[in-house]
Amino acid sequence: MDPSPSPPPSSRSPLSTVDVVVLVVYFLLILAVGLWSMWKTKRSTVDGYFLAGKDMTWWPVGASLFASNIGSGHFIGLAGSGAAAGIGAIAYEWNGILMVLLLGWLFLPIYIASGVMTMPEYLQRRFGGRRTQIFIAVLSLFIYVFTKISVDMYAGALFIQLALQWNIYLAVLMLLSITAFYTVAGGLAAVIYTDAVQTAIMLAGALTLMGFSFAEVGGWDALMDRYPRAIPSIRVPNSTCGIPRDDSFHIFRDPVTSDLPWPGVIIGMSVPSMWYWCSDQVIVQRSLSAKTLTHAKGGSLLAAYLKILPFFIIMLPGMISRILYTEDVACADPDQCNEICGNPVGCSDTAYARLVMELLPAGLRGLMMAVMIAALMSSLTSIFNSASTIFTMDLWKTFRSRASEWELMIVGRLFVLVLVVVSVLWIPIVQASQGGQLFIYIQSISTYLQPPVSIIFLAGCFWRRANEKGAFWGLVVGLVVGCIRMLLDFIYPAPLCYEEDDRPAVLKYVHYLYFSTLLSFITLAVVVVVSLATEEPKPEQISRLTWFTRFDPVEPKEQGEQSSNGSEVTPGQMHEMEVTGGEQESSNGTACQQRKDSAVSAVQSQSRLTAAVYWVCGMERRKKGDDDPVARPAPVEIISSLEEKPRLRLVVNVNLLICLSVTAFIIGYWV
């Protein structure tokens, strides 16, 4: 049997001509925005390519944070979770609201003060040595490639296959080609600006489908009344299969018998979420691209407000899909489910795609296809760009410490192409994983690998006494314990609704959210004990690297200033270069002019094709005036300032209180 899901029966035909036109317009719009951002931004420097020149305002930062988080996996998985088990999984989204605000107000000031570009680089400066930095860099790349890419690839491929019956390889290869083009060429600036457009498209399409869904089901009251009664006619006798949960409309559920116990939601869910929102390169890199701390906070606020919406535009339509197509979406018999969607575990993952293909008229179906593709592309571009940054700045630069800026630019772009190839080769494994098991796999990865990393960053940012040995061994012990539990989960998978639970007690009675809490305390204990038993960190590992020392004055670099290409220039050399350059300019003006003229003619003699390739890749070597022998000052200090204008700081702080109040209200309403 082909492991890929087969389309559910539908009275609607695939996309019409109008839908195809909408899709073509969407692709042209994205390419236009990508080209515009490439023209607008400086892409030939490390800061320009990896941090968008540190010149982003709050609204594209916030939109990019949201688009990077809401991938196609959200539309498929969150709607499917709503169809299968009610609103419980929305706790992950609303927990993210609090975490993204923690990023803006607590973690980001520390990262900005430290002047770092990547999260592994922060650990290297905070703790010293290279092993923790390399450990986290490799772990991050592993998580990106084998979890995030796999989820979005599966979800996007599923939707494309359901809607168009296209060959998955062809569809994904086309998407990845467009994605890789502006990611490789434009860097983070192109990713952020296209993310902002993708966000607008996602919200417009999802809100439209939400309106059609509520109109079809009969409104809010009909949803609340009909969901508990959406039971398929064919079920396994004497089992809970196909019956909606009694606590479907509650977030905080029974601490012992439920699928999401409320103590685990509060602590066990928050620690992995803290890793994602406060120390993951994909998220933090967007905030570091903001021109000031206030703009970075504004971006966090916008993302937090937008995070309220997935409940209404994704999860509730998924629940409506169960009501409208109960026999298919909520199928409870393994044989029947296998016939409907090719997955004996269940077909709830088809909930959102089923609404799109059944309810929307021509044109709007094309818009929703664009929404799903936008979600897929925005997540993949974010992962590609951030993974490229980590590989280039934390791994390549570690082993090639004297690498030029030109070399770093080439390596960063080539690594994106490597990730594209890996993504295509990953498709068969994604297909074999199948829907229900894939999301269990992702959940396990998050719960068992992320808490130790969160604890390391917490200790580094808020405890001065934490040192390199404590961080490293805490990380090692935490990951070993987490991997043991993860392996047990794979060896003894959770039973289906009609099967008896005969797993070992540590799996049967210790919920994965409780285990996440336990794992966090184990890691923290190791960090504290080892740190107190070994030497204190050096002063340079504390200054401007913790919450309490973020305002320390910047120490002058005794061994010389860092030039923009990574080489060091001593103050004496800088002065000598300035004086010598001045003398040469006055005494040898004719010679300088001759050199400039020869350089201009050399550039003009280049073929237009070569010049075009250099421009597309953002690899302009020099422009007029760049051949001054004095190295340009590094732009790192621009973002290192924590100063905020009092009036703007008041505005964002008032919005912080409003956002927290709204979050408290919606969580309290659905408790």
Query: What is the distance of C-alpha 206 from the center of its chain?
Result: 20
* Spatial contact of 368 and 455, defined as CB atoms under 8 Å apart: no
Which residue has tokens 């229900």?
436
Is the model more confident about 397 or about 528? 528
Q: How many CA atoms lie within 13 A of 193 on its CB side?
A: 23
Mean pLDDT of the chain: 81
**Residues of the chain with pLDDT > 90: what percent?**
40
Which residue has tokens 């504290």?
528
Cβ-based neighbour number of residue 558 at 10 Å: 7
CA-closest candidate to residue 385, choices 118, 114, 150: 118
Task: Give the pLDDT confidence of 306-356 residue by residue, as tens digits.
Answer: 999 999 999 999 999 999 999 999 998 888 888 887 778 788 888 998 998
Q: Note the pLDDT of residue 649.
A: 95
Query: Can you give the C-alpha Rg of the chain in angstroms?
Result: 26
Task: Give the pLDDT confidence of 346-391 residue by residue, as tens digits.
Answer: 888 889 989 988 998 988 888 888 888 878 777 887 888 888 889 9
**Residues of the chain with pLDDT > 70: what percent?**
78
Beta bridge partners of 562: 568
The yes-or-no verdict on residue 599 having pLDDT over 60 is no
Cβ-based neighbour number of residue 501 at 10 Å: 10
Backbone angles phi, psi at 562, to 5 degrees: -90, 120
Q: Note the pLDDT of residue 539.
A: 93
pLDDT level of residue 68 (50, 70, 90 thresholds): confident
Q: Tell me how far apart the alpha carbons of residues 32 and 34 are, in angstroms, rounded to a whole number.
A: 5
Count helices and strands in the chain by DSSP H and E runs: 32, 2
In the DSSP assignment, the letter for residue 554 is P
Task: Give the pLDDT confidence of 13-48 residue by residue, as tens digits.
Answer: 466 888 888 888 888 888 888 778 777 666 556 666
pLDDT level of residue 425 (50, 70, 90 thresholds): confident
275, 296, 460 from 457: Cα distances, Å:
8, 20, 5
* Spatial contact of 403 and 397, defined as CB atoms under 8 Å apart: yes
In the DSSP assignment, the letter for residue 247 is T
Q: Which helix (H) or strand (E) holds 575?
A: helix 571-587
* Spatial contact of 631 and 565, defined as CB atoms under 8 Å apart: yes
Query: Which of these ranges, 287-301, 423-437, 564-578, has the smallest mean pLDDT?
Result: 564-578
CA-closest candidate to residue 108, choices 641, 661, 669: 641
* Spatial contact of 532 and 465, defined as CB atoms under 8 Å apart: yes
Q: Note the pLDDT of residue 44.
A: 57
Residue 29 corresponds to which tokens in the numbers above? 């719009």
Which residue has tokens 């902002």?
196
Q: Tell me how far apart the alpha carbons of residues 55 and 43 are, in angstroms, rounded to a whole number.
A: 13
Q: b or e along 645-664 (b: 16 or more beta carbons within 10 Å of the residue's beta carbon)?
A: eeebeeebeebbeebeeebe
Task: Give the pLDDT confidence of 560-576 residue by residue, as tens digits.
Answer: 444 433 444 444 344 44
* Spatial contact of 295 and 58, defined as CB atoms under 8 Å apart: yes
Beta bridge partners of 633: 563
Which residue has tokens 């869904």?
213
CA-closest candidate to residue 51, choices 284, 394, 378: 284
Residue 593 corresponds to which tokens in the numbers above? 């002019």
Is the model more confident about 627 or about 547? 547
Task: Give the pLDDT confidence of 474-495 residue by residue, as tens digits.
Answer: 999 999 999 999 888 878 877 8
pLDDT level of residue 466 (50, 70, 90 thresholds): very high
Q: Note the pLDDT of residue 179.
A: 73
pTM of the model: 0.82
Q: Note the pLDDT of residue 540.
A: 93
65, 145, 246, 450 from 435: Cα distances, Å:
26, 18, 24, 22
CA-closest candidate to residue 137, choices 379, 404, 397, 378: 397
Domain ranges of the chain: 44-539+649-669
* Spatial contact of 235 and 63, defined as CB atoms under 8 Å apart: no
Q: What is the homologous superfamily of the domain 44-539+649-669 according to CATH?
A: Sodium/glucose cotransporter (1.20.1730.10)
Residue 262 corresponds to which tokens in the numbers above? 């409320």
| Cα separation of the two ends of the chain | 43
